[in-house]
Amino acid sequence: MKGTNLGEFEELVLLTVAALMEEAYSVAVCDELSNHTGRSVKLGVVHAVLNRLEEKGLVKSQLGEATKTRGGKRKRFYQLTIPGKAALVNAKSMRDQLWDRIPSLAWKNV
């Protein structure tokens, strides 16, 4: 397995795949990210990140059934792997530990 360190956008894509569960395909991931982050998210970038996450072993994919609405094309669905879940848990734990280290006084004048 390649490195498991997550970049910010990789983490967001991984979280979105987890949230969408069995409906996690590239267009749905892209739409969900755009809706929740307020960012303009490019489908090509999502494809590249999903491919990279699959290379790292953090997601796996499979082709769905061909549909008439897609002109007979099949969707590629993604799901988290056990290492993918672990990577998200580790990222959250690290963030929580860092947030907990900030003294409450630091937020008083913000």
Domain limits, the chain: 8-96
Tell me the pTM: 0.84
Structure confidence at residue 79 (pLDDT):
96
**CA–CA dist 26, 83 (Å, integer):** 20
- Tokens 């008439």 sit on residue: 68
- Mean pLDDT for 10-19 is 96
Catalogue the long-range contacts made by 91-95 (C-beta closer than 8 Å, 24 or more residues apart): 91/6, 91/11
Strand partners, 60: 79
- What mean pLDDT value characterizes the chain? 88
40 has a pLDDT exceeding 70: yes
CATH of domain 8-96: 1.10.10.10
Task: Name the β-bridge partners of 74.
Answer: 66
Write out the DSSP string of 12-69: HHHHHHHHHGGG-BHHHHHHHHHHHH-----HHHHHHHHHHHHHTTSEEEEEEEE-GG
When mean pLDDT is compared across 48-52, 60-64, 71-75, the lowest value belongs to: 71-75
Report pLDDT digits (tens) over 15-39.
999 999 999 999 999 999 999 999 8
State yes or no: pLDDT of 13 exceeds 90.
yes
Q: Is the pLDDT of residue 51 over 90?
A: yes
> At residue 1, does pLDDT exceed 50?
no
